[in-house]
Chains A and B, each alone.
Chain A
Amino acid sequence: MISFLTKLWTFVKRGFAINFSYKVYAVLGILGMLIGVLRFGFMAQFLQMGNSFPALSLYGGNLMAYFITGGAYMSYVSVAMNSFHSAIRSEQSMGTLEYLLMSDTPLWQILTFSGITSFLWTTLNVGMIFIFLVAVFNVQMKINIWLSLFILVLSVICIGGIGLTSAGIIMVTKKGDPVSWTFTTLSGLVSGVFFPISILPIWIRWTSYMMPTTYAIRALRKALLVNATFSSVKESVLILVLMSFITVPAGLLTFRWGFNKAREKGSLVEY
């Protein structure tokens, strides 16, 4: 028994020592948990408002539809944020990255291909879940399909620019990078995905207006749930287009920088 406890203690000590040696990870992990709890707090606050949700009237007033669209959209945020760097990492770990580069295909094309592959894969998954949930919960939706697709693709491109930035940073640091973490965490908390941003205290609401996801989910919900026309979402679309003009070039530049830095360090294949 004593020896069991001693061994247990050594294991715990070792685990903690290793976890704390990744300082950034440890801090980000704790912050992440905190923000997760915070998100549920805000959600609860939102739900406690009672059974008529004035904030939802814009989107047809159905709480279930509100959550399903929010959850589905977050999967696309994750695709746009992560597919570039996870594509690179997986090619690095398979040792094929150099050979992809050597082939007569520019890197941006390779990244686009893998991005589109994850987009389609996610669409297949999300589509099935969506149909299932809508059927089970008998959710009424009035979909403007082309507008929904347009907004989805536009927002994936806009966030993809940030994903490219994160991939560029990861090519150099080889570790999780703060851009990706900050963006993914914030988008779940402040962009009105699971509760309206009006729940948020005033002093953090400004971050909502900085996030492309805020505009994307707002427009997407209208297109999915109340068959909105283009003109009723044009403001959000315009903002997304403008943001893309910043995020995409910034992503391309950062990625190019990271790629050259990795070739300078001879660390292209390291992961």
Chain B
Amino acid sequence: MNEIIKVSSLTKTYKLGKREIKAVRNVSFVVKEGEIFAILGPNGAGKTTLIKMLSTLVLPTSGKAFVCGYDIVKDEAKVRKCIGLSTGFERSFYYRLTGFQNLKFFGTLYGMRGRSLNDKIKELSDFFNLNDAKEMLYMKYSTGMKKKLSLARALIHNPKILMLDEPTSSIDPKSAMEIRQRIKEIKKDKAVILATHDLHEAETIADRIAILKDGRLLTVDSPTNLKRYLKHEIIKIKTDGSVSMDKDFFLENGMREKIKRVDVKDETVFIHVENTEEVMDYVVDKMKSMKVKLLKINVEEPSLEEVFLNFMGEKDDKLSD
């Protein structure tokens, strides 16, 4: 697969009077054709700044990036042609025009006309299920419709890359799911870059996830690999509660190496391990010897949330429950 975006040591420092805000620090990564690349990070991580630099709307302080093979500083016009942008910002259409008129206006600026423009608008409003809203003034749109219209606009000139900043923020779960589904369908012949702080979103649609914190890129990997990275599973054992249990109870006989941590919460014991197979026998025997009645055993993989928190350096207090 071709590398459609190449970012190397990209840095953005904002100056506010004497203060310097390092919004993006020395970030490098590559995005390939046909993939959904999520930039995941908490508020203020630098996601929007990164997307705007790649869209030529913010100038980088240092470093380089190539989008569709073009330098984002020297070839800004060619870069813009190659991408479709949709930011989370709701106020980005003409309020007193209908959705259709808005799309037509922006389509015309992209040099489209007549039949081909109308066909494209028809195709997009079918795709995003916006047909009923086409003749409605934009100011009457619901938030979900606004986001969909914004995606439709981003796609109107059939760009190779779609850049989405929080495409589902402040949207109900059902509409969010619909939008994610559409994004997945779009990616077939495009690359999608998607900034989000929603782990679930990143996990469900991204092929690869970049974790950004304080402007630094902590890691880039597939959701599966990211979870594997933690080498961490949780054995969750539900008992009838008749025997009270102590955390230290499991941490003897050289098991301290294999069992990372035990939490007891009401009738349930959470045993954090690197590899379930190595300790399962021991744990069950131990419980049996105590005459504990076992009701249910689950083995859970870490959620992306845990991976995320781990990277955010908060893993210790938040891992269990």
Q: Which residues of A contact B (CB under 8 A)?
A: 94-96, 98-106, 260, 263-266, 268-269
Contact = CB atoms under 8 A, between A and B. Distances in A.
A95 B94 CA distance: 9
B294 interface: no
Given A103-B110, A265-B14, 17 more contacts: A95-B90, A95-B91, A98-B85, A99-B85, A101-B56, A102-B80, A102-B84, A103-B106, A103-B109, A104-B77, A104-B157, A260-B59, A264-B58, A266-B49, A268-B57, A268-B58, A269-B89
Contacts of B93: 94-96
A104 B59 contact: no
B77 A94 contact: no
B11 interface: no
Interface of B: 12, 14-15, 23, 49, 52, 55-59, 77, 80-81, 83-85, 87, 89-95, 106, 109-111, 153, 157
Nearest to A260: B59
Contact of A99 (B14, B90, B106, B111): B106
B92 A95 contact: yes
21 contacts: A94-B93, A94-B95, A95-B89, A95-B91, A96-B94, A98-B85, A99-B92, A99-B153, A101-B57, A101-B80, A104-B81, A105-B109, A106-B77, A260-B59, A263-B57, A264-B58, A264-B59, A265-B14, A266-B52, A266-B58, A269-B89
Given A104-B81, A260-B59, A263-B57, A96 B92 contact: yes
Contacts of B111: 104
A265 B59 CA distance: 8
What are the 3 closest A-B residue pairs judged by CB atoms, nearest first? A95-B91, A103-B109, A95-B92
B243 to A, nearest CB: 60
Given A96-B94, A263-B57, A264-B59, A102 B85 contact: yes
A117 to B, nearest CB: 13
Contacts of A263: 56-59
A102 B83 contact: yes
